[in-house]
Amino acid sequence: MSNAFDISLTVNGERVQERVEARKTLVDFLREDLALTGSHVGCEHGVCGACTVRVNGEIVRGCLMLAVQCEGAKVETIEGMSDSGEVADLQTAFEQRNALQCGYCTPGMIAAAQDLLKRGGVPARDEIREHLSGNYCRCTGYHAIVDAVQAVARARTKGR
């Protein structure tokens, strides 16, 4: 049995074909092979959430999935979410409300927040905290992040 595999998947809407070692995690594949460095590598054991990306529409830990498991999958990273404008309002709100300082957690935080807001409505602060509980931020103390997410939820609800 071989340790390297040809995989074919979609990343941010583009078809990608690469040969990967079985042991390569999804986030390392995105960063090293595709130069998509917006997904960050923090703890590498599923605790910090900095590597959060979407696979087939659901958020996952990029460090707890192997690239080889993404054969045929549709992967979306912060680069794709940014380019499409899907999270532009979240990004602006994070900036305006100082919901980031060093920014290391921000791509994962935005991906997780968008996952919650996609459900619609204005989540309570507790719900926001619970949904973002898997994403560490060591700068802000979270209050500003919760403020930003809730403000965007309110704006989106009004906009509809």
Cβ of residue 110: shortest distance to other proteins, in angstroms?
13
Q: Is 124 in the site for other proteins (CB under 8 A)?
A: no
| Binding residue (CB under 8 A) for other proteins from 7, 9, 11, 59 | 59
Q: Which stretch binds other proteins (CB under 8 A): 6-14, 21-29, 137-145, 147-155?
A: 21-29
Q: Is 8 in the site for other proteins (CB under 8 A)?
A: no
Q: Which stretch binds other proteins (CB under 8 A): 2-10, 74-82, 94-102, 146-154?
A: 2-10
For the chain, what is the HEC assignment?
A: CCCEEEEEEEECCEEEEEEEECCCEHHHHHHHHCCCCCCCCCCCCCCCCCCEEEECCEEEECCCCEHHHHCCCEEECHHHHHHCCCCHHHHHHHHHCCCCCCCCCHHHHHHHHHHHHCCCCCCCHHHHHHHCCCCCCCCCCCHHHHHHHHHHHHHHHHHC
CB 95 within 8 A of CB 27: no
Single-letter amino acid code for the residue at 122: V
| Binding residue (CB under 8 A) for other proteins from 17, 19, 35, 45 | 45
Cβ of residue 78: shortest distance to other proteins, in angstroms?
14
Nearer to other proteins, 46 or 156 (CB): 46
Cβ of residue 127: shortest distance to other proteins, in angstroms?
11
CB 141 within 8 A of CB 133: no
Q: Which residues bind other proteins (CB under 8 A)?
A: 1-3, 5, 21-23, 25, 28, 44-46, 49, 52, 58-61, 63-66, 68-69, 112, 115-116, 129-131, 133-135
